[in-house]
A and B are shown apart, each in its own frame.
Chain A
């Protein structure tokens, strides 16, 4: 965990919870007062409920010599409970809906728990980590700990952090970061913004020219003060001026739209490229935490929203503000009294738009909620149509859908009632303001009263009226500011969350490349914990020689798949080492190493594309002959050649659907073509019928020849040709040997598994 992430976790706890961000200093000092290793704080957690299920604050601290329970800030040491490590017995963690109980009993087993703490889900991760350490203590095992403060803040903040894209108190910071992506295109941006600014300025010219024309040409001619022939050229000049201004203005609009729309697309493209490239670098632990749909949305729709914001939102909003300000200044300078009548209500209108926007946001939240309920019915019933029909529940589903559909419509109608009422009312307010201008201006125009101010020329008033109509558009635009900003910054945050995540598995500087692996693999005292504390693999050691077929067996959840994840370097070990041909795996260049490792998974994944493309996935330059040869080895050529378009048949959701066994054989062909030195088979025949299993088994028998193979299988019959079997249980290597050697132990784990499978087979 980086320093920045640690800061963020503390910030999360401080911002979103009422609990301390670390162990109180008084307690920390008192526990570690001796300063030696025995008093070093190894881990701690907070319990936030008491025995009456009221809020409380108790700390459970594991030091080098004791387990300490203290309440509050720990200053009242009389309330402490100190338990030496040697007294720690059975640890029991009982879970409930929102109250969990941790009990630590005495080693001498006199019954009453030494420690009994109650806590909510919020503390559960840190408590579970501590409970695991106490269990290790009870078993006399060495404790593997991390920095206690880091472990605490990470475990408390993690659920909030995972639900929250990025913790930031400043939406503006996200906007600035987004605008940074405009830098490579600054020439275009400057030109586009200049064009947009020119449009805004030019828009002010026609009303001025019109007013000037009225006051200095048309009125004097009509009053007989000037001869028409003397000023007709001025009049036509003014008209031409208006026409030129309009033409230039439209040209600038075209330029602005063209440039900024393209810039928006380029920025969105850059973001998508950067995001997808960064995703390729991230470790598997990131993908296991994030939902696939959420990541896909970030690359697709979130970048699209950012385009919309950059191409239009930024410019429109800034120009709207500039327009309103500029118009207010022009109006006030034209005529102070009338200008104030127009300018003063503008901030009030903006405020009204802001509050209306807030109200609309709440309504949209209701709409969103109701819409989610409606789409829930769709996502349930359409994929499950076979079940709906089989149970004749079509009318019920129809009823459910109609009810929710009606619910959604009523919410939408509420929204429509609101905005269709607000905007006309706002426009009415604007018109009333203009009416006020008329009311104040008329006496001055007609010269009937000087109480409202000095006389007002017709031309000036006409300019004034034309300027007031220009208020409408920027006011409407500002109404959409909050929504556009909110959507864009939410999207930007989701994108930046991925970009800011650092991969956990990285190559060292100057990594080693082994051009052709021999396939020797050695695990030396390997330990691994996904969360850094609870070990899933415990002190595993074994050596595999090149060309051996190793069977990995054992109960579910024992650590077999984790072992495979470590071997493929999806994760790095937390202790010990894995060597490939004598070189520590962490020193190898990851990408080059994985090119020589092949995997056939339990659920084979085929990409959207042709069968040819799928088989060639790991070896894009393989020839057609090589592809067909690989398919033959995989027992796949026969069915592929019978497909409608043979190897060019498109498979995947929008293409031809292959059966499970067919997909598995294509997956094997893919692995064959890659010609890996180390091959991993993860329960490759677990979900197919017997005949298909036979074909797949034949294919795999050919595939494994001459390679080092690790095969996980629950069906022990599939490992009959294994050189050796490794029996993994609870992260430990409990047995190893050949099939015959393991069966020779009547009480062994392997023997029991084998017997159980035989009994099931016979019963069937």
Chain B
């Protein structure tokens, strides 16, 4: 469901209305909360993903709120000024065309290198040098000696190199034996 903030900042809510308010509410039932404006997404000629919300259209950047815990949901669509324009808690709530546009944009925004195999891991003074196989081909990267792989909730591993590129091992147990042996001191 897409959402915009219903209450302006600074407003207060209480869980139990006062008796006078309850009586008033019985006489004058509260107005139904307006339906959130539908969101549609499309890729335009400028190559960017645009969000169309009510009467506003703007190019947006995607930010996954939980890129490793729950990557399929909870995506913030932000303008170039880093202001959230819309929030997609479940892409299934979008139209099929919007879902496709979102998926295309996410594949780029969420791109990381996936390690399919490890050719070598060496220490070179203050660096740990990896040479790995990815779907894109062979890639060499370096991490600091104490930059340990990070476990993700789905059992995968993330390694961030000195430049900030992210390398992911989706399931360490499915790597070949040599790769597992090379990663032995870095992986439980």
Residues of A whose CB lies within 8 Å of any CB of B are: 16-18, 49, 53-55, 92, 94-99, 101, 103, 105, 111-113, 116, 118, 120-122, 124, 159-160, 162-168, 362-363, 365-366, 368-369, 372-373, 490, 493-494, 763
Contacts and interface: CB of A to CB of B under 8 A. Distances in A.
B146 A120 contact: no
Given A96-B109, A164-B126, A362-B185, 8 more contacts: A16-B142, A18-B138, A53-B111, A92-B80, A98-B111, A98-B166, A164-B142, A365-B186
Which of B80, B124, B144, B162: most chain A Cβ within 10 A? B162
- Interface SS of A by simple majority: mixed
B111 A160 contact: no
A510 B135 CA distance: 60
B17 interface: no
A101 B61 CA distance: 11
B109 A99 contact: yes
Nearest to A94: B61
B165 A121 contact: yes
B144 to A, nearest CB: 5
A105 to B, nearest CB: 6
A124 B165 CA distance: 10
A369 B144 CA distance: 12
Contact of B46 (A49, A112, A124, A362): A112
A124 B185 contact: no
Contacts of A363: 185
Contact of A122 (B126, B144, B163): B163
Contacts of B148: 369, 372-373
Contacts of A166: 125
A120 B109 contact: no
Given A53-B107, A103-B47, A122 B165 contact: yes
B10 to A, nearest CB: 8
Interface string B59-98: 1010000010000000000001000000000000000000
B118 to A, nearest CB: 14
Nearest to A19: B140
Interface of B: 10, 44-48, 59, 61, 67, 80, 107-113, 124-127, 129, 136-140, 142-144, 146, 148, 161-166, 184-186
A190 B107 CA distance: 67
Contacts of A105: 46
A160 B162 contact: yes
Contacts of B161: 121-122
A164 B127 contact: yes
Given A160-B127, A490-B126, A493-B126, A103 B48 contact: yes
Given A53-B108, A103-B48, A372-B148, A163 B142 contact: yes
B185 A366 contact: yes
A305 to B, nearest CB: 14
A96 B49 CA distance: 14
Nearest to B138: A18
Contacts of B10: 763
Contacts of A365: 185-186
A319 to B, nearest CB: 27
B108 A99 contact: yes
Contacts of A16: 127, 129, 140, 142
A369 B186 contact: yes
A165 B163 contact: no
A362 B45 CA distance: 52
A497 to B, nearest CB: 9
A270 to B, nearest CB: 23
Given A53-B107, A105-B46, A111-B45, A98 B140 contact: no
Contacts of B127: 16, 160, 163-164
Which of A120, A159, A362, A493: most chain B Cβ within 10 A? A120
B165 A165 contact: no
Contacts of B165: 98, 120-122
A29 to B, nearest CB: 29
Given A55-B136, A166-B125, A490-B125, A97 B163 contact: no
B187 to A, nearest CB: 9
Which of A160, A168, A490: most chain B Cβ within 10 A? A160
A97 B106 CA distance: 10
Nearest to A56: B136
Given A55-B137, A121-B164, A160 B48 contact: no
Chain A to chain B: the 9 pairs with minimum beta-carbon distance, closest first: A99-B111, A121-B164, A111-B45, A96-B109, A365-B185, A159-B162, A163-B162, A121-B163, A121-B165
B67 to A, nearest CB: 7
Contact of A493 (B45, B109, B125, B186): B125
Contacts of A54: 136-137
Nearest to A162: B162
A77 B67 CA distance: 41
Nearest to A17: B140
Contacts of B108: 53, 96, 99, 101, 118
